[in-house]
């Protein structure tokens, strides 16, 4: 069992390497083969967990600090790993079709496989440290994947924004881990939240990290920008796996987050559910509608974990993964047909490719909570659990109505309009296969609720007549709204398109102050610190010049002066030797007289 | 000599001696200078006689007369203005040399006056010439001998120094026989 | 009264005059004359001492003899040098003989 844990993480990585190394024609099959192989351990682990097995496998990393890296098998990780592996396999099959005519196809496939490895590591992590490491890996790899289509000018920018936003939120996770370690010295799951300031830091940090990763308000803007990446990436990362990591984090640490942190998460989720729906309604680009929808649905999941426990949230996660990924894969088929994802240019594309459109409709119906499709049951479970919290219930119903509306709108656009009818592209079979598989999954996953609850623990997601009634009512309301009022007022559209002001707020609150601080620091460095260094250098030079001057004017002058004085003395004394006899005689006489006088006087006196 | 005679001779002779000596250097005529020197030294000889050294006085007079005449010869030969008719001032550094002279003279005079000489006033019984002769030929023979040799050397040396061409004589130009 | 100091003073003055001549005169012959006077002053000194302090000293008289000889010798050599100088340089002025300057 332990070996399977490591295999689940290692096989996708090996598959990525293999995809890059084999010759180009083999890259697709090798990638798919790798994904199939990588899915096998996941299913075996699920079987094992279902039979009640748990396992742990750890490597001692820093024995002195008691830190270790490890993977673990329990109900939650088993559910997540199967989701990741299966959706990953389907998307990979789809990607071989999507990238069929792309010059850098092997690189894309390898990137997807590498991402799968990191995601598996995240969901299989056995303690917070391992979770943190894979969390960061997932973020880094996702940015690379988004920036893959670098021919599109928006893609690198979107990748940078995604990376920066999620990374900034990840600081919360860092702080939480550090605080937890500082408080208890133990980073295992399932502990109780420590008290005091450190405990508050733990709770807050985890919630912030989840908000960032799951594109909840006010950090939801990066998801729209990430849509500039290739569609398979959007399908895998931004509907099923990476963004779901935030929900997984909440589910994993629900013991740590008991109390006010879960309340906060619930409120954020509820508000985002509504905000995301509003944004999705106003978008003009199909993928951006789906992005807003993802934010909204993730908000639902937050509410689910907050009120109903981990099983409720994960149920919706799995259902949403199937439905949303289907829609993204279908959108990718339309994208290849029309060369764009802009709704105004996609009208009638559904009529052209009815198979793809059928998949799209199935996925949309699931997300819009049309019974008996999967997401109906999971959303219903959330509404049931939210009945305890009226405010959240109202917000959820609003969001449910919104989800119906914003999904019906693109569907109508795709159906109405005249088909253009172009040639069928290569790779379409693979793409259809992928979309079809997930559509089928959306049909049947509604029955996964109870088994999931058994697996993960916690109350089973159920339904009540009230919740079903409210849910259907919301669905009807949304449908009627779209059919009756075809367009929204322009001001609201503009506001929604501006992400309800979140972008501007972030720019004012975060970007500008940081840039100002950076510029100030640079100015400080240039004027003060550099000045100190320059000043020291100049001081040194001045000191050198001064000592040179001292030496030259003082010491040298003294030496030269002495030499000159001696020379002058020599000159003057040479004048005594005038050659004139009389002067010699005179000097002799005077000298002798003086000596004699002294002698005599001393003798006399 | 009696005291009076001694005094009568000593004082005038002494003063005159000093005056003539001074005039040796004041006068501008060379002949006169030489003769004045003769006079000064002759008067000095007279002083010797007055001081009861007859031998020395006579010796002085004899020698000086011949020597000074020869000196006059030399003066006329080598002086630019022997007659003193052109009025050249042949002194340089007059003040300084005068000053030095005065200083030295004063010094010596002061020493002479201030010293406590032994008061031995013996009767003027000078040793007679005979005793001096015995001294010269006896005890001081060695010195006398040397003095004689010195005179010889000086004679030869003087001629050598003064001779044209020095020691080696004038080199005859080639071909010419001297 | 004639006494030793008197004689010595006379001698001193004569010495000074001779010194004036030695130091002041430009012509070599005049310088030699000055030297004669100085030697004469020395002789006067000795004679004074002979008369007043050491009357029975024959060696004193001999000393004067030697001084006298010295006077003559010095004059002889001096004049020889003057002749030689005059022969080579056409001048007997001491001021022109400055070859040893420097």
Q: Provide the number of CB pairs (under 8 Å) joining chain A to chain C.
A: 30
CA distance B175 to chain C (A): 25
Give the per-residue pLDDT at A525.
79
Query: Do A201 and A257 touch, CB atoms closer than 8 A?
Result: no
C-alpha–C-alpha distance, residues A533 and A541, integer Å: 12
Give the per-residue pLDDT at B112.
86
User: Which residues in chain C have their CB less than 8 angstroms from residue B53's CB?
Assistant: 47, 50-51, 61, 64
Q: Which of A574, A582, A585 sits opposite C102 (nearest CB)?
A: A574
CA distance A577 to chain B (A): 16
Residue A330 pLDDT greater than 60, yes or no: yes
Q: Burial of A10 by CB count in 10 Å (0-12 exposed, 13-18 middle, 19+ buried)?
A: middle
In three state form, how does the secondary structure of chain B look? CCHHHHHHHHHHHHHHHHHHHHHHHHCCCHHHHHHHHHHHHHHHHHHHHHCCCHHHHHHHHHHHHHHHHHHHHHHHHHCCCCCCCCCCCCECCHHHHHHHHHHHHHHHHHHHHHCCCCCCCCCCCCCCHHHHHHHHHCCCHHHHHHHHHHHHHHHHHHHHHHCCCHHHCCCCCCCCCC
Residue B21 pLDDT greater than 90, yes or no: yes
Please state, for a pLDDT cut of 90, what percent of chain B lies above it: 27
Give the per-residue pLDDT at A401.
85
| A604/B104 touch (CB, cutoff 8 Å), yes or no | no
Kindly provide the ipTM of the predicted complex, given to two decimals. Answer: 0.89
Give the per-residue pLDDT at C14.
95
User: Which residues in chain C have their CB less than 8 angstroms from residue B146's CB?
Assistant: none
pLDDT per residue as tens digits for the range B66-110: 888 888 887 777 766 655 555 555 555 677 788 888 888 888 898
pLDDT per residue as tens digits for the range C6-26: 999 999 999 999 999 888 888
| A579/C24 touch (CB, cutoff 8 Å), yes or no | no
Q: Burial of A337 by CB count in 10 Å (0-12 exposed, 13-18 middle, 19+ buried)?
A: buried
Phi, psi at residue A147, to the nearest 5°?
-80, 10
CA distance C42 to chain B (A): 11
| B103/A593 touch (CB, cutoff 8 Å), yes or no | yes
A-interface mutation test, from B25, B92, B105, B111, most A Cβ less than 10 A away? B111
Give the per-residue pLDDT at C7.
92
| A590/B100 touch (CB, cutoff 8 Å), yes or no | yes
Give the per-residue pLDDT at A186.
72
For residue B144, the tally of other CB atoms under 10 A from its CB is 18
Q: Is the pTM of this model over 0.80?
A: no
pLDDT per residue as tens digits for the range A175-206: 888 888 888 777 777 777 777 788 888 888 88
Lowest mean pLDDT among A40-44, A207-211, B1-5: B1-5
C-alpha–C-alpha distance, residues C25 and C30, integer Å: 6
What mean pLDDT is reported for chain A? 82
| C94/A581 touch (CB, cutoff 8 Å), yes or no | yes
What is the separation of C-alpha A69 from the centre of its chain, rounded to a whole number of angstroms? 22
The whole-number average pLDDT for the span C73-85 is 88
Give the per-residue pLDDT at A10.
86
Interface of A with C in 572-591 (CB under 8 A): 574, 577-582, 585-586, 589
> Which value, to the nearest 10 degrees, does the dihedral of the CA atoms of residues A147, A151, A152, A153 take?
90
């Amino acid at each position: 069992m332990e070996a399977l844990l490591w295999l689940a993480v290692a096989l996708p990585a090996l598959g990525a390497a293999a995809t890059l190394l084999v010759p180009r024609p083999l890259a697709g099959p090798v990638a798919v083969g790798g994904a199939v192989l990588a899915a096998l351990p996941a299913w075996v682990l699920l079987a094992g967990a279902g039979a009640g097995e748990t396992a742990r496998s750890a490597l001692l990393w820093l024995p002195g600090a008691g830190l270790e890296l490890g993977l673990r098998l329990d109900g939650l990780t088993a559910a997540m790993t199967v989701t990741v592996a299966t959706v990953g396999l389907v998307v990979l099959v789809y990607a071989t079709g999507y990238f069929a005519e792309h010059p850098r196809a092997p690189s894309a496939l390898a990137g997807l496989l590498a991402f799968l490895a990191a995601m598996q590591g995240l969901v299989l992590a056995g303690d917070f440290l391992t979770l943190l490491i894979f969390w960061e890996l997932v973020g880094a790899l996702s940015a690379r994947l988004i920036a893959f289509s670098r021919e599109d000018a928006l893609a690198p920018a979107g990748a940078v924004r995604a990376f920066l936003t999620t990374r900034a939120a990840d600081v919360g996770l860092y702080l939480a881990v550090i605080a937890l370690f500082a408080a208890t010295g133990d980073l295992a799951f399932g502990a109780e939240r420590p008290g005091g300031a450190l405990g508050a830091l733990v709770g807050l940090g985890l919630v912030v990290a989840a908000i960032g990763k799951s594109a909840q308000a006010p950090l939801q803007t990066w998801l729209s920008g990430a849509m500039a990446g290739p569609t398979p990436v959007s399908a895998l990362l931004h509907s099923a796996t990476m963004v779901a990591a935030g929900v997984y984090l909440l589910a994993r640490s629900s013991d740590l987050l008991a109390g006010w942190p879960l309340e906060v998460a619930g409120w954020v989720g509820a508000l985002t559910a509504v905000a995301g729906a509003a944004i999705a309604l106003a978008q003009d680009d199909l993928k951006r509608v789906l992005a807003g929808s993802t934010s909204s649905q993730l908000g639902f999941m937050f509410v689910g974990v907050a009120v109903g426990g981990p099983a409720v949230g994960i149920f919706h996660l799995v259902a949403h993964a199937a439905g949303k990924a289907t829609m993204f894969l279908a959108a990718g088929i339309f994208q290849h047909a029309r060369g764009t994802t802009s709704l105004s240019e996609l009208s009638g594309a559904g009529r052209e490719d009815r198979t793809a459109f059928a998949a799209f409709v199935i996925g949309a119906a699931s997300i819009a909570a049309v019974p008996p499709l999967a997401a109906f049951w999971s959303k219903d479970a959330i509404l049931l659990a939210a009945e305890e919290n009226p405010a959240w219930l109202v917000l959820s119903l609003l969001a449910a109505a919104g989800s119906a509306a914003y999904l019906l709108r693109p569907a109508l656009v795709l159906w109405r309009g005249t088909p253009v009818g172009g040639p069928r592209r290569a790779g379409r079979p693979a793409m259809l296969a992928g979309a079809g598989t997930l559509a089928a999954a959306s049909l049947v996953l509604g029955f996964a609720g109870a088994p999931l609850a058994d697996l993960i623990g916690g109350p089973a997601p159920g339904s009540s007549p009230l919740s079903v009634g409210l849910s259907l009512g919301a669905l009807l309301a949304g449908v009627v709204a779209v059919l009756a009022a075809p367009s929204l007022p322009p001001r609201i559209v503009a506001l929604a398109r501006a992400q309800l002001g979140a972008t501007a707020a972030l720019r004012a609150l975060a970007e500008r102050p940081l840039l100002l601080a950076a510029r100030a620091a640079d100015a400080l460095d240039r004027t003060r610190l550099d000045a100190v260094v320059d000043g020291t250098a100049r001081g040194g030079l001045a000191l050198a010049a001064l000592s040179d001057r001292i030496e030259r004017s003082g010491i040298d002058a003294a030496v030269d002066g002495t030499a000159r004085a001696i020379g002058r003395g020599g000159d003057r004394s040479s004048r005594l030797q005038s050659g004139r006899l009389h002067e010699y005689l005179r000097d002799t006489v005077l000298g002798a007289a003086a000596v004699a006088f002294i002698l005599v006087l001393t003798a006399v006196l | 000599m009696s005291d009076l005679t001694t005094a009568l001779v000593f004082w005038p002779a002494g003063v005159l001696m000093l005056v003539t000596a001074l005039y040796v250097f004041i006068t501008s005529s060379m002949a006169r200078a030489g003769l004045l020197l003769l006079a000064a030294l002759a008067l000095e000889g007279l002083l010797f006689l007055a001081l009861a050294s007859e031998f020395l006085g006579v010796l002085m007079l004899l020698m000086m007369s011949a020597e000074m005449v020869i000196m006059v010869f030399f003066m006329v030969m080598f002086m630019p203005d022997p007659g003193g008719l052109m009025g050249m001032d042949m002194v340089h550094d007059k003040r300084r040399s005068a000053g030095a002279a005065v200083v030295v003279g004063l010094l010596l005079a002061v020493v002479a006056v201030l010293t406590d000489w032994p008061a031995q006033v013996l009767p003027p019984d000078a040793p007679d010439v005979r005793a001096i002769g015995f001294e010269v030929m006896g005890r001081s023979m060695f010195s006398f001998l040397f003095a004689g040799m010195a005179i010889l050397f000086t004679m030869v040396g003087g001629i050598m120094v003064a001779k044209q061409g020095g020691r080696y004589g004038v080199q005859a130009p080639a071909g010419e026989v001297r | 009264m004639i006494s030793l100091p008197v004689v010595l003073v006379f001698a001193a003055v004569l010495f000074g005059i001779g010194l004036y001549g030695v130091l002041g005169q430009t012509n070599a012959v005049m310088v030699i004359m000055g030297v004669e006077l100085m030697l004469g002053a020395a002789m006067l000194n000795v004679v004074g001492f002979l008369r007043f302090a050491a009357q029975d000293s024959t060696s004193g008289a001999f000393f004067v003899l030697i001084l006298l000889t010295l006077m003559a010798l010095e004059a002889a050599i001096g004049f020889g040098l003057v002749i030689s100088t005059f022969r080579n340089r056409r001048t007997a002025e001491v001021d022109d003989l400055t070859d040893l300057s420097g």
